[in-house]
Amino acid sequence: MGSIWLHDLPDVLTDAGVRVRLWDGWETRARSSGGYDAVYAVFAHHTASKTAPDNDCSYMWNGSPDRPVGAVLLDRTGLVTIGAAGATNCQGKGGPWTLSTGTIPLDKGNAYGVAIEAANNGIGEGWPTAQVDAYVFTVAAMCEAWGLDPNRDVLAHFEWVEPSCPGRKVDPVGPSPWATGASSWDMDGFRGDVAAWCDTGNQPQPPEPEPEPEDDVTDDDVERIAEAVWRRMITDPVNGDATHAATLLTRIRTDANNARTDEDDTAEAVWKRLIRDPAVGDETMAATLITRIRQDTSRG
Ligand SMILES: [Zn+2]
């Protein structure tokens, strides 16, 4: 069983300016082999579908007989939905291929490569700018996070199949900075754009982050965040214990009051408390919880 799970992916992509959402169950979703054996490559695909993002996600992770298909879905607005932290069924047949950190054996693409599925019909549908930009940011962020060489460790599905079953796949294809008509992408061009982003960290520019609020966190903010934590803790299916939540909430309020610089510090204090806590001290669970709490508080 593979032992590598991509529980860092929400932070990796968010920090790169990619808009991210999580598909229910993503933390534990994997093919039967479990986590990845190693991450040697990022694989670029298209879905060959033309439907709403939720329909793609539902097929990839809940409905397909080959599920899970792909680690993430990049939709046409540039939003990335993360559906599986473990290995998926997306580029099994193909290779072998030697990359900068190791060789992926014949037909083992799923155990050693992370698959990005991007919404495109695959028969000449144009790629919107928001989507192609997010494709570059997403791949670049993954390369940086996992120590991959963007000039070498990024493969199209059609490249992966070349050594052992050439022509079996064509994706990704279509009108974009890297192709015209319905031809397969110029992957050297794509890799070059990813590498440029990795070199400069801002080429092309990711969306401007929201301006930081000028003021320190107020008492009202602390209360609001604490309430969101509270609601999340007592409604959480795993940690839904009201007594325990009350204790934790008291400690979190203390931590938050001690931090008191901005909302991120407050969230950070909550995070530290969750992973240190003897009953809830689980990093994976804490990561999921924190993501949801951030969503709650930003809505609040
Ligand atoms: Zn593919």
CATH code assigned at 104: 3.40.80.10
Is residue 209, in this structure, part of any structural domain at all? no
Cα–Cα nearest to 13, from 145, 132, 209: 145
**pLDDT score for 137:** 95
Over pLDDT 70: what percentage of the chain? 70
For the beta carbon of residue 165, count every other beta carbon within 10 angstroms.
Answer: 13
Higher pLDDT: 121 or 208? It is 121
Q: How far is the CA of 291 from the centre of ligand 1 (A)?
A: 29
Higher pLDDT: 39 or 260? It is 39
Q: How far is the CA of 281 from the centre of ligand 1 (A)?
A: 38
For 169, phi and psi rounded to 5 degrees?
-135, 155
Residues 32 and 173 in one domain: yes
Q: How far is the CA of 112 from the centre of ligand 1 (A)?
A: 15
Average pLDDT in the 78-102 region? 97
Is residue 2, in this structure, part of any structural domain at all? no
Q: How far is the CA of 170 from the centre of ligand 1 (A)?
A: 8
Residues 23 and 146 in one domain: yes
Q: How far is the CA of 118 from the centre of ligand 1 (A)?
A: 9
Residues 184 and 272 in one domain: no
**pLDDT score for 239:** 54
- Whether 136 has a pLDDT exceeding 70, the answer reads yes
Domain containing 243 equals 219-299
Lowest mean pLDDT among 168-177, 193-202, 247-256: 247-256
For the beta carbon of residue 36, count every other beta carbon within 10 angstroms.
Answer: 24
Cis preceding-peptide flag for 53 (omega within 30 of 0): no
What is the number of domains present in the chain? 2
Distance, in Å, from the CA atom of 143 to the CA atom of 39, rounded to the nearest integer, reads 10
Q: Is the pTM of this model over 0.75?
A: no
Distance, in Å, from the CA atom of 162 to the CA atom of 113, rounded to the nearest integer, reads 16
Is residue 34, in this structure, part of any structural domain at all? yes
What b/e string do you get for 115-143 counting C-beta neighbours within 10 Å, with b at 16 or more? bbbbbbebeebebbebbbbbbbbbbbbbb
